[in-house]
Chain A
Amino acid sequence: MNVLTINLTDYTYEIERRDDLAEWLGGTGIAVQLMKENVKKDCDPLSPENVIVFAVGPFTLAYPYASKTVAMFKSPLTENLGESHAGGRSAAAIASAGYRAIVIKGKSEKPIYLVIDNEKVEFKDARSLVGIRSSIILGRIIAENEGGRGRRSIMRIGFGGQRLVRFACVTTETYRHFGRLGLGAVFGSKNLLGLVVKGIKTFKPVDPMSYRKTYEEILRMAIESDAMKKYYLLGTPVNVLPLSELKALPVKNLTETELDVEDISGESLAEHSLGRRIACSHCPTACIHIAALREEYERERYFYKTLMISYDYELIYALGSMIGVNKREDLLKLIHKVETYGLDAISTGVCLAWATEAYKRGLITENETLIPLEFGNAENYLKAIDHIVYQPNDFYKSLAQGAEKASEIYGGKEFAMCFGKNEMPGYNTGYASYIGLIIGLRHSHLDNAGYSIDQKFKRLEPEELVDALVKEEWWRQVLSSLVVCFFARGIYTKDLVLKALKPLGIEMSEEDLEELGRKIYFEKLKLKKMMGFDINKVRIPERVFEVETPHGKLSKDYFERALNYYKENYYKKV
């Protein structure tokens, strides 16, 4: 497998054959190894010493749903290991250019964007692109400058990344994101505005006959089975109403669990706003739901603009219920704002929610917030998002570093809804969700899907629950090393993975696969600890114990038992 290493400091690059990494498959597995080799563990995440790794896997290009790229870096939000996955055409483009991974080091003296075209890397002057506020416009400009239409990926940051907001994301193909944990700020700190990858390489399967047969079987399952239904119809927003009924949808910074969310439900968005669906490369499901928002010009009648806005469950939670916004148009405007700035939507919403409660309680005043913040007031939130990006005063400078940081300065830690310094996703489902966020190596609901364990409503002892979460995270290390979209986890069972590896020339047993997941997990945990992570310092916001969940009020004892068990049996192993 080939690894491309680009040094932005001296504008050089090299391609290395790294067959020694084959045992780690790809994606997360090799990204951990490449991070270990390249990053100075105690570096400032926004310094030239930080590195960015993009990695794809053996299933990329080969099978449906293998659409994701894994990005790894030191997170400016949590200040330890950052990992983020995105789809679009990123993975297909990286693999078609001939690489299993790309490592980006150093810092360019002047703003640039990179073009990786098969074996060639160009460092393109981007000085005239600095200050472009919308990631959509920046993407369009780069698209018009560069060839390779349809066989390329254009990753870029928005103004949020340029302004080093520590939860800025990298956007690809307009609507897909390397979200969470601040990759956009790392790009910004390196003076790297964008990354274009294109290529036309193809690869031969070891066994052509069985490759074609297995491919067709997977695609048929994808289209015919129920495994993808949830994403196929309403998309992830199908969860809004059921979770709200269960009291699992956080409302107003989790001070409540009840809000009329009818208008911002998946059903309502589909009925009134859904304008188009699009897909990542190699995905028959096309889960990307895009709303059309028609708005009349402010001062001219019968002039309309139509914005196309991508929505998902997490955005409806973070920029909707969590800040008390329950009108569809308000929600869509907020999503659009966050999209154009290239900010992580979950972190933005949770930061606004914390700020609103802190303002309400008098910890901060209009001197800090500049506008009165009020749950449900979308107009003011739109302005507050501008402030997070422009950072006109010390308050917004700290809020741009996340809710954890801001609450350290202004107080209100007990209701700053972060775990491991990462703002929480929208699942007030019970123990597994929260414990999963604490122990998950990305502090993300996607690490171990605790929300799903909670919704099975089986009473688990804390030890059983931790085992279930970690076991799921082990398996997900395999999926994210192949790399397949987690939404297709129902299709990619162990049996199918083994079967699909064979025509590619990779023979493994079920035990090998399980062992690999375990090994990657511990390698990642070790790296995270070396980068400064300490589980004993992870704070649990008091709010978690105050609010009703579908499992009733949560007990501190349960958390303590679970975390002690985790530390003894997993955390201390490396």
Chain B
Amino acid sequence: MKLLRIADIEKCVGCSICMYACSRKNTRDPRIGYGRSAILAVSLSGFERGSAVIFCHACKEPPCAQVCPTNALKPRKKGGVIYSEKHCIGCKNCIEACRINAIFEREDGKISVCIHCGYCADFCPHGVLEVVEI
């Protein structure tokens, strides 16, 4: 099983290329933009203080899955969640429940959450992200 994790957060330059990759990852329905992304590149209260990325770090007991009323989010075996889009009713309880703010609202009212496919890591130009087997 794969896990996307931070290799070195201090190397992040805030280019957002991971966000574009995540929105593009679906081969049948790649999206132009970052509105489908499950990873977010932010500045740290302004770029003078640097930048960082936020995404699901695959916690062992995911509160987002616990508060999901339709089981659209289910705990993944070794941490994190599996997301079933068709069961999601867009209640946003999961967004509230995640303490690291790693679940994102989409334009269609549903959510984006990292499924640890590692697609974005292939595009990070500066070695911020890595994929490991767990």
Contact B15 A281 (CB under 8 A): yes
Contact B35 A202 (CB under 8 A): yes
What's the nearest-Cβ distance from chain B to residue A212, in Å?
6
Tell me the chain A residues, 229-281 only, with Cβ under 8 Å from chain B.
276-281
**With A95-B33, A143-B46 as given contacts, are A278 and B107 in contact (CB-CB < 8 Å)?**
no
Is A215 close to B, CB under 8 A?
yes
Binds A, one of B19-27, B61-69, B72-80: B19-27
Tell me the chain B residues, 73-110 only, with Cβ under 8 Å from chain A.
105-107
Of the candidates A61, A149, A173, A281, the one whose C-beta lies within 8 Å of that of B40 is A149
Of the candidates B23, B47, B123, the one whose C-beta lies within 8 Å of that of A278 is B47
Is A282 close to B, CB under 8 A?
yes
Q: How many angstroms between the C-alpha atoms of A202 and B20 in the bound complex?
A: 10
Contact B28 A174 (CB under 8 A): no
What's the nearest-Cβ distance from chain B to residue A210, in Å?
11
Contact A205 B32 (CB under 8 A): yes
Tell me the chain B residues, 8-36 only, with Cβ under 8 Å from chain A.
13-17, 19-20, 23-24, 27-36
Is B126 close to A, CB under 8 A?
yes
In the complex, what residues of A have CB within 8 A of residue B19's CB?
Answer: 150
**With A174-B46, A290-B48 as given contacts, are A151 and B34 in contact (CB-CB < 8 Å)?**
yes
Q: How many angstroms between the C-alpha atoms of A200 and B42 in the bound complex?
A: 15
Contact A282 B47 (CB under 8 A): no
A-side interface size class: 35 or more
In the complex, what residues of B have CB within 8 A of residue A223's CB?
Answer: 125
In the complex, what residues of B have CB within 8 A of residue A199's CB?
Answer: 35
What's the nearest-Cβ distance from chain A to residue B5, in Å?
19
For B31, B34, B45, B48, which residue has the most chain A Cβ atoms within 10 angstroms?
Answer: B48
What's the nearest-Cβ distance from chain B to residue A68, in Å?
14
In the complex, what residues of A have CB within 8 A of residue B48's CB?
Answer: 136, 174-175, 290, 308
Is B70 close to A, CB under 8 A?
no
Is A48 close to B, CB under 8 A?
no
Contact A278 B13 (CB under 8 A): yes
Is B50 close to A, CB under 8 A?
yes
In the complex, what residues of B have CB within 8 A of residue A62's CB?
Answer: 32
Is A541 close to B, CB under 8 A?
no
Q: How many angstroms between the C-alpha atoms of A173 and B40 in the bound complex?
A: 16
What's the nearest-Cβ distance from chain B to residue A183, in Å?
20
Nearest B residue to A139 by beta-carbon distance? B46
Contact B36 A202 (CB under 8 A): yes
What's the nearest-Cβ distance from chain B to residue A52, in Å?
24
In the complex, what residues of A have CB within 8 A of residue B15's CB?
Answer: 279-284, 286
Is A140 close to B, CB under 8 A?
yes
Contact A96 B13 (CB under 8 A): no
Is A203 close to B, CB under 8 A?
yes
Contact B125 A202 (CB under 8 A): no
Q: How many angstroms between the C-alpha atoms of A393 and B125 in the bound complex?
A: 51
Q: How many angstroms between the C-alpha atoms of A387 and B93 in the bound complex?
A: 54
Contact B46 A136 (CB under 8 A): yes
Of the candidates B13, B16, B54, the one whose C-beta lies within 8 Å of that of A277 is B13
Is A120 close to B, CB under 8 A?
no
Is B71 close to A, CB under 8 A?
no
Of the candidates A136, A202, A219, A279, the one whose C-beta lies within 8 Å of that of B14 is A279
In the complex, what residues of B have CB within 8 A of residue A504's CB?
Answer: 32
Of the candidates A92, A201, A212, the one whose C-beta lies within 8 Å of that of B27 is A212
Contact A278 B33 (CB under 8 A): no
Is A204 close to B, CB under 8 A?
yes
Contact A203 B31 (CB under 8 A): yes
**With A201-B35, A277-B13, A286-B126 as given contacts, are A212 and B30 in contact (CB-CB < 8 Å)?**
yes
In the complex, what residues of B have CB within 8 A of residue A308's CB?
Answer: 48-49
Is A211 close to B, CB under 8 A?
yes
Contact B47 A174 (CB under 8 A): yes
Nearest A residue to B104 by beta-carbon distance? A200
- How does the 8 Å CB contact mask read for A86-121 relative to B, with 1 for contact and 0 for none? 000100100110000000000000000000001000
What's the nearest-Cβ distance from chain A to residue B96, in Å?
14
What's the nearest-Cβ distance from chain A to residue B95, in Å?
12
Tell me the chain A residues, 283-302 only, with Cβ under 8 Å from chain B.
283-284, 286, 288, 290
Is A57 close to B, CB under 8 A?
no
Contact A202 B33 (CB under 8 A): yes
Contact B14 A278 (CB under 8 A): yes
Contact B23 A202 (CB under 8 A): yes
Q: How many angstroms between the C-alpha atoms of A276 and B28 in the bound complex?
A: 38
- How does the 8 Å CB contact mask read for A497-523 relative to B, with 1 for contact and 0 for none? 000000010000000000000000000
Is B6 close to A, CB under 8 A?
no
**With A203-B32, A205-B30, A223-B125 as given contacts, are A173 and B43 in contact (CB-CB < 8 Å)?**
yes
In the complex, what residues of B have CB within 8 A of residue A61's CB?
Answer: 20, 32-34
Of the candidates B16, B28, B40, B123, the one whose C-beta lies within 8 Å of that of A219 is B123
In the complex, what residues of B have CB within 8 A of residue A279's CB?
Answer: 13-16
Contact B47 A92 (CB under 8 A): no
Is A362 close to B, CB under 8 A?
no
Contact B17 A284 (CB under 8 A): yes
Of the candidates B17, B31, B54, the one whose C-beta lies within 8 Å of that of A202 is B31
A201-B35, A201-B107 given. 13 additional CB < 8 A pairs?
Answer: A151-B34, A174-B47, A175-B48, A203-B33, A208-B29, A209-B27, A219-B17, A278-B47, A279-B16, A280-B15, A282-B16, A282-B20, A308-B48
Q: Chain B interface (Cβ within 8 Å of chain A)?
A: 13-17, 19-20, 23-24, 27-36, 40-43, 45-51, 54, 105-107, 123, 125-126
Can you list 8 A-B pairs, Cβ within 8 angstroms, ordered by A?
A61-B32, A96-B33, A173-B47, A203-B31, A203-B32, A282-B17, A284-B15, A288-B47
Q: Give the top 10 A-B pairs by smallest Cβ distance, nearest first.
A: A279-B15, A200-B35, A202-B31, A202-B33, A284-B125, A308-B48, A150-B42, A286-B13, A202-B35, A203-B32
